[in-house]
Amino acid sequence: MNKDAYIPYGRQDIQPQDIEAVVEVLRSDWITQGPVVPRFEQAVSDYCNATYGVAANSATSALHIACLSLNLGPNDWLWTSPITFVASANAGRYCGAHVDFVDIDPETYNMSVAALKEKLHNAEKSGTLPKVVMPVHFAGQPCDMPAIAELAQHYGFRIIEDASHAIGAKYNGYKVGACSHSDITVFSFHPVKIITTGEGGMATTNDPDLARRMRRLGSHGITREPKEMDTEPDGSWYYQQIELGFNYRMTDIQAALGLSQMERLDAYIQSRHELADRYNKSLSLLPVITPRQKQGTKSAWHLYVVKLDKKSTTLERKEVFYSLRKANIGVNIHYIPVHTQPDFKRMGFKTGDFPIAESYYKEAISIPLFPHMTSSQQEAVITALKEVLV
């Protein structure tokens, strides 16, 4: 292997059987809306012990129809984490809802339950309680869902888990996606995530009404169910648009790739854990803070984020980032706090609004981690980090 080849922070794994599965669909009668999408939905929902899976053409689309199915609309509030991809917050904005953030926990980088509690307490007084709270399982580590669900009970909000990073993760014996402490969970199948369909996403739920509504919203708001129509069907061709929906459907081509990838999901998680363990051991003497894992959680290890330990290094994140990039290590930053994006600042957010997220951002670097990363690739990353940091 070329020692100096670029090592990306994440990369899909495509095997001959994946290609075969996709080609089989291409040669079949249906390339979209055939039998493979429902099989993929079944495979994912079975895997995470949820009753229903609703596939979509991205996690962003799935988050949007998830919010709509819970009737999120103008005058409602959606709260999420500032350390996420912009899509989590945008899902609320697409519905015309107000969006706000809850600062992160300084150790797990997930939404802080203490901060959530305090914000809910204040929102109750001002009459601005959220309709939907969207915790994000950052880097694949599950949020404290039992605590968030307890607050949902008390304050009456609904929960959508943004599990874009977390298919294959568990907490207290529950699989992420089982919706044991939420209404809906959403996965992403973008190529950098845990399994891929090219572009794609899926919502899981145990509520038949939410599943039906999401399916309808993802396909133009059209129903073919006579009992949902306001008249008798004219005939077997008949359908009705009963609300405004979208074309968010996944294709059979994508689903075939996803279904084939599902076979290796557990192996991917296993491999990500081994790589993370090796990083934990090898980086322990460097001036970085390695990811802390909360007791009772099993991460999907989508990302391995190190934070510069400012107590033991004077190096700036920028210097470390550029030195690693120069050494062909594809480091990345997850994430720029969403509230500091210009399009969010225009809504009134300011730098300083979520200080823990902002200080996390100044020191965080994601280093390469993907299931088929070789030990010599990992060694190259570790060596480069040592050279830069000591």
What is the enclosing helix (H) or strand (E) of 15? none
The answer to whether 89 and 83 have CB atoms below 8 angstroms apart is no
Distance CA 45, CA 176 (A): 11
| Strand 174-175 versus strand 170-171 pairing type | antiparallel
Distance CA 219, CA 62 (A): 12
- At residue 42, the 3 state secondary structure works out as helix
Where are the alpha helices (H) located in the chain, listed in sequence order?
A: 16-26, 36-47, 59-69, 86-94, 113-126, 145-155, 208-217, 252-262, 265-282, 317-326, 342-345, 355-363, 375-389
Map tokens 């907490």 to a residue.
171
Amino acid code (one letter) for 260: S
Q: Which is nearer to ligand PLP, 183 or 286 (CB)?
A: 183
CB of 128 to ligand PLP, least distance (A): 24
Q: Which is nearer to ligand PLP, 91 or 113 (CB)?
A: 91
- C-alpha distances in angstroms, 160 versus 151, 166, 181, 196, 278? 14, 13, 10, 21, 33
Paired strand residues for 55: 202
CB of 306 to ligand PLP, least distance (A): 18
Q: What is the DSSP string of 184-220?
A: EEEEE--TTSSS--SS-EEEEES-HHHHHHHHHHTBT
Handedness of CA 3, 7, 298, 44 (dihedral sign): negative
Q: b/e per residue, 6-38, with b = 16+ CB within 10 A?
A: ebbbbbbbeeeebeebbeebeeeeebeebebbe
CB of 83 to ligand PLP, least distance (A): 9
Q: Which is nearer to ligand PLP, 129 or 214 (CB)?
A: 214
Distance CA 135, CA 112 (A): 9
CB of 199 to ligand PLP, least distance (A): 6
Question: Quick one: DSSP state of residue 62?
Answer: H
The token duo for 294 is 């909360």
Question: Quick one: DSSP state of residue 292?
Answer: P
CB of 151 to ligand PLP, least distance (A): 21
Q: What are phi and psi of 108, to 5 degrees?
A: -95, -15
* Interface contacts to ligand PLP, rule CB under 6 A: 58-60, 84-85, 87-88, 136, 162, 164-165, 188, 190, 201
Distance CA 78, CA 135 (A): 11
